[in-house]
Structure formats: structure tokens, C-alpha cells
């Protein structure tokens, strides 16, 4: 069951990228629109690069201010604590995604069942 949930979670997580790739293929296949498509990709790429740079600059400024009074050893300890907290948050996020997938699958299973029908389930 867990393998199915992880597989479904992976499929759901990669769905937007797969849809984008299929859409891009369709757009590129249309004659005359390749230049327009490439301009759009470049524009979006530039916007994303600017947003990432702004985020990095913001984090850099914030952390310089917050850690100005710390020595190297204290900064190393703070980095370890931050990584530990990030790991816990990511672990809980993964668990919450699995819970959401399970609940969604369970709801779909219940909606698809006829109350009078006989259901025979088996694992492969």
C-alpha cells in the first residue's frame, strides 16, 4: 500500500512538469510559433532568475544582520539547528502529503463503491 501511495504521490508531483512538457511539444510543433515560444520561455526564465536573486539578497541581508554578533562556532551551531528544523519540517510535509493522498484515495474508493456490490480486493 505504501509503495502505491509513494508512486501516486510521485505521479501527482510530476504531473505539472509532464503537462508543461507536453504543452511545450505541442506549441513547438506549430509552425511559425517557435520564435514566440522561445521569447516567452526566455521572459519567464529571466523573471524567475530575478525573483531568486531577490530572495537570495533578502536572505543574505537578513542573516548578516541577525548573525553579526555570533562567532564562527555559534554560527556553526545555529546552522546545525536550522538544518535540523528544516529536516523535521520536510519530513512532516512528506508525511502530510502521504496522509492527504491516502485520504483522497480512500474517499475516491468509497465514492466508487456501490453499497450493495461485493468487492474483492487483493494485493499483487
Radius of gyration of the chain (CA): 23
- Nearest partner of 5 among 96, 95, 98, 93, judged by Cα: 98
Task: Identify whether residues 94 and 79 lie together within a single domain.
Answer: yes
**Interval 51-75 mean pLDDT:** 91
Tell me what the pLDDT averaged over the chain comes to.
78
Task: Identify whether residues 1 and 16 lie together within a single domain.
Answer: yes
Q: Can you give the residue range of the structural domain that contains 8?
A: 1-30
The number of distinct structural domains making up the chain is 3
**Interval 113-117 mean pLDDT:** 63
pLDDT band for position 1 (cuts 50, 70, 90): very low
Are 63 and 55 within 8 A, CB to CB?
A: no
pLDDT value for 2: 47
- Other beta carbons less than 10 A from residue 111's beta carbon: 7
Task: Identify whether residues 75 and 98 lie together within a single domain.
Answer: yes
Task: Identify whether residues 75 and 122 lie together within a single domain.
Answer: yes
Task: Identify whether residues 105 and 76 lie together within a single domain.
Answer: yes
pLDDT value for 46: 85
Task: Identify whether residues 103 and 80 lie together within a single domain.
Answer: yes
Helix axes 2-29, 72-112, angle to 10 degrees: 90
pLDDT value for 62: 92
Task: Identify whether residues 124 and 96 lie together within a single domain.
Answer: yes
pLDDT beyond 80 at 43 = yes
H-helix or E-strand containing 83?
Answer: helix 72-112
Q: Looking at 4-18, 41-55, 79-93, which range is the least confident one?
A: 4-18
Task: Identify whether residues 117 and 79 lie together within a single domain.
Answer: yes
Amino acid at each position: 500500500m505504501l509503495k502505491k501511495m509513494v508512486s501516486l504521490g510521485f505521479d501527482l508531483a510530476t504531473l505539472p512538469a509532464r503537462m508543461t512538457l507536453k504543452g511545450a511539444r505541442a506549441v513547438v510543433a506549430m509552425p511559425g510559433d517557435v520564435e514566440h515560444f522561445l521569447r516567452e520561455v526566455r521572459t519567464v526564465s529571466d523573471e524567475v532568475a530575478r525573483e531568486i536573486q531577490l530572495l537570495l539578497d533578502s536572505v543574505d541581508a537578513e542573516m548578516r544582520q541577525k548573525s553579526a554578533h555570533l562567532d564562527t562556532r555559534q554560527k556553526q551551531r545555529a546552522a546545525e539547528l536550522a538544518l535540523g528544523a528544516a529536516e523535521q519540517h520536510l519530513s512532516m510535509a512528506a508525511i502530510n502529503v502521504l496522509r492527504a493522498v491516502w485520504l483522497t484515495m480512500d474517499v475516491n474508493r468509497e465514492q466508487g463503491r456501490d453499497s450493495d456490490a461485493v468487492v474483492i480486493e487483493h494485493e499483487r
